């Protein structure tokens, strides 16, 4: 009997895991296509920045923080045949209000009515004006309707803006209390009082 041990492999054998046949196949879910979210609509607002040196005169009543009050002497031309140097009328003085650095809203237009886009645009401008060291939160506008049906005056008034005319402000209060439309729409200069700036920034959270 021949012992053929020399031909045997005596090295330790390692167990090797072999893949088993798949019992059932699982289908991959379809890859959904990525859609770009629609862009958020915004109101169109056109704003200009006014400087002190522009010398814009403000009529009516406005907070002193908005204007530089300058006293000027009116020129007189009352000389005639009977007047002489001995009788000189006293100079006539008047106080003129010049607008300080501020933002002026030229116009604002929203793609949709009563959806808050216009309010959001005004709030963003108010925040910008507040952090502007020269404007110091000052914002003015000239209320004038673009269409017969619109009343920017009532919109601005609810946000805290006020007319330089007390009569116009009283009429706005009446429109709000009695819930009547501003027809015909009030026109004129409006400004945002300092005491209403922070209230505007929180508009929608408190009301």
Q: What is the pLDDT of residue 147?
A: 67
Q: Is the pLDDT of residue 1 over 50?
A: no
CA 77 vs CA 55, 71, 72, 96: distances in Å = 25, 19, 16, 21
Q: Which residue has the higher pLDDT, 32 or 127?
A: 127
Confidence of residue 207 (pLDDT cuts 50, 70, 90): very low
Separation of alpha carbons 131 and 68, rounded Å: 21
Q: Is the pLDDT of residue 4 over 50?
A: no
Q: What are the b/e assignments for 79-92, b being 16+ CB within 10 Å?
A: eeeeeeeeeeeeee
Confidence of residue 141 (pLDDT cuts 50, 70, 90): very high
Mind listing the pLDDT tens digit for each residue in 86-104?
556 778 888 899 999 999 9
Give first-to-last CA distance, the chain, whole Å: 108
Q: What is the pLDDT of residue 6?
A: 47
- What are the chain's domains? 44-53+101-201 (3.40.630)
Q: Name residue 74's beta-bridge partners.
A: 92
Q: What is the pLDDT of residue 13?
A: 54
Binning the chain into helix, strand and coil, the percentages to the nearest 5 are 25, 20, 55
Average confidence (pLDDT) over 146-173: 88
**pTM for the whole structure:** 0.71
Q: What is the pLDDT of residue 5?
A: 41
Question: How far does CA 155 lie from the centroid of its chain?
Answer: 13
Mind listing the pLDDT tens digit for each residue in 112-123?
877 889 999 999
Tell me the backbone φ, ψ of residue 43, rounded to 5 degrees.
-75, 145
């Amino acid at each position: 009997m021949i012992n053929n041990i020399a031909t045997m492999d005596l090295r330790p054998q390692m167990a090797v895991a072999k893949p088993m046949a798949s019992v059932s196949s699982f289908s991959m879910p379809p890859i959904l296509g990525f859609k770009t979210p629609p862009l958020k609509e915004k109101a169109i607002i056109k704003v200009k920045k006014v400087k002190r040196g522009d010398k814009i005169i403000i009529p009516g009543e406005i907070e002193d923080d908005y204007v530089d009050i300058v006293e000027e002497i009116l020129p007189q031309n009352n000389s005639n045949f009977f007047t002489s140097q001995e009788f000189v009328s006293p100079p006539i003085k008047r106080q003129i209000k010049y607008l300080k650095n501020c933002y002026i809203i030229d116009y604002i237009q929203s793609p949709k009515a009563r959806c808050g886009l216009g309010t959001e645009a005004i709030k963003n401008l108010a925040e910008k004006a507040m952090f502007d060291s020269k404007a110091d939160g000052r914002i003015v506008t000239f209320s004038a309707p673009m269409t017969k049906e619109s009343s920017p005056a009532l919109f601005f008034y609810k946000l805290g803006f006020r007319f330089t005319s007390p009569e116009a402000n009283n009429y706005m209060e009446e429109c709000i209390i009695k819930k009547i439309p501003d027809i015909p729409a009030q026109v004129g200069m409006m400004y945002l009082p300092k005491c209403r700036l922070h209230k505007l920034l929180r508009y929608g959270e408190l009301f």
